[in-house]
Amino acid sequence: MPEGHTLHRLARAQRDRFAGRVVAVSSPQGRFEAGAALVDGRRLVDVTAYGKHLFAAFGDRIVHVHLGLFGRVVEGPGDPPPPIGAVRMRWVAESGWSDLRGPTACEVLSPPEVELILDRLGPDPLRPSTQRLLQARSSLAGRGPSSEARTSARPLSRDVACARIARSRAPIGGLLMDQRVIAGVGNVYRAEVLFRRRLDPYLPGRDVGRERWAALWTDLGGLMRQGVRTGRIVTTERADRERSSGRVRAEDAHYVYRRTGLPCRVCGSPIVQHDLAGRKLYFCAVCQAP
Q: Which residues are catalytic?
A: 2-3, 52, 279
Smallest distance, Å, CB 211 to DNA?
A: 27
Smallest distance, Å, CB 11 to DNA?
A: 15
Taking CB under 7 A as the binding criterion, the range among 33-41, 56-64, 122-130, 184-192 that sits at the site for DNA is 184-192
Please tell me whether residue 249 binds DNA under the rule CB under 7 A.
no
d(CA 177, CA 174): 5
SS (H, E, C) 168-214: CCCEHHHHCCCCCCCCCCCHHHHHHHHHHCCCCCCCEHHHCCHHHHH
Among 36, 126, 233, 248, binds DNA (CB under 7 A): 233
Please tell me whether residue 6 binds DNA under the rule CB under 7 A.
yes
Please tell me whether residue 235 binds DNA under the rule CB under 7 A.
no
SS (H, E, C) 63-115: EEEECCCCCEEEEECCCCCCCCCCEEEEEEECCEEEEEECCCEEEEECHHHHH
Site string for DNA, 37-56 (x = CB under 7 A): --------------xx----
Please tell me whether residue 277 binds DNA under the rule CB under 7 A.
yes
Smallest distance, Å, CB 222 to DNA?
A: 17
Which one, 247 or 268, has the nearer CB to DNA?
A: 247
Smallest distance, Å, CB 210 to DNA?
A: 26
CA 261-275-248 angle, 5° bins: 45
Largest CA distance in the chain: 58
Secondary structure element (H or E) that encloses residue 48, with its range: strand 46-50
Smallest distance, Å, CB 209 to DNA?
A: 25
How many residues in total does the chain contain?
Answer: 290
Please tell me whether residue 3 binds DNA under the rule CB under 7 A.
yes
Among 177, 216, 220, 223, binds DNA (CB under 7 A): 177
Handedness of CA 17, 18, 20, 21 (dihedral sign): positive
Which one, 96 or 171, has the nearer CB to DNA?
A: 171
Q: Which residues bind DNA (CB under 7 A)?
A: 1-3, 6, 29, 31, 51-52, 66, 68-72, 84-86, 88, 101-104, 120, 177, 179, 186-188, 233, 258, 277-280
